[in-house]
Amino acid sequence: MTIHNLYIFSKNGTLLYYAEWNRLNKSGITKEEEAKLMYGMLFSIKSFVNKISPLDPKEGFLYYKTSKYTLHYFETPSGLKFVLNTDNASQNARELLQQLYRDVSNLFLIKNPLCQLNEPIQSELFKLKVDELFKKSPLFLSRTI
Amino acid sequence: MVIYGVYIVSKSGGLIFNHDHNVPRIENERVFNYPLDLKLRYENKKIVVSFGQKEGINVGHVLTAVNGNAVIGRELENGKDVFDLLEEPECFPLSLKFSRARMTTNEKIFLASMFYPLFAIASQLSPEPRCSGIEILEADTFRLHCYQTLTGIKFIVVAESTQSGIEILLKRVFELYADYALKNPFYSLEMPIRCELFETNLQTLLENVEKSGASSA
Summarised one tens digit per residue, pLDDT across range B107-118 is 999 999 999 999
Task: State the Cα–Cα distance between residues B54 and B171, nearest whole angstrom.
Answer: 42
The predicted pLDDT at position B215 comes to 55
Q: Give the distance from residue A111's alpha carbon to the nearest chain B alpha carbon, in angstroms.
A: 31
Measured between CB atoms, does A71 come within 8 Å of chain B? Answer: yes
Site from A22, A36, A52 to mutate, B interface, most B CB atoms within 10 angstroms: A52
Query: What is the mean pLDDT of the segment spanning B53-68?
Result: 88
SS3 A110: helix
Nearest to B124 by CA among A68, A76, A93: A68
Q: To which H or E segment does residue A32 belong?
A: helix A31-52
Q: What is the pLDDT of residues A97-131, one digit of tens each?
A: 998 998 888 877 778 787 777 888 888 888 888 88
Of A4, A41, A60, the CB nearest to B140: A60
Share of chain B above pLDDT 70, in %: 98
Share of chain B above pLDDT 90, in %: 41
The predicted pLDDT at position A113 comes to 81
SS3 A100: helix
A-to-B residue pairs, Cβ atoms closer than 8 angstroms = 118
- For residue A37, give the chain B residue with the closest CA: B121
Nearest to A121 by CA among A18, A13, A11, A12: A18
The structure's pTM equals 0.88
Contact B213, B164 (CB under 8 A): yes
Are the Cβ atoms of B124 and A54 closer than 8 angstroms?
Answer: no
Task: State the Cα–Cα distance between residues A74 and A70, nearest whole angstrom.
Answer: 13
Are the Cβ atoms of B138 and A62 closer than 8 angstroms?
Answer: yes
Q: Any alpha helices (H) in B36-189, and if so which ranges?
A: 82-87, 105-124, 166-176
**Residues on chain B touching A34 (C-beta within 8 angstroms):** 125
Is residue B193's pLDDT more than 50? Answer: yes
Site from A38, A55, A58 to mutate, B interface, most B CB atoms within 10 angstroms: A55
Contact B23, B13 (CB under 8 A): no
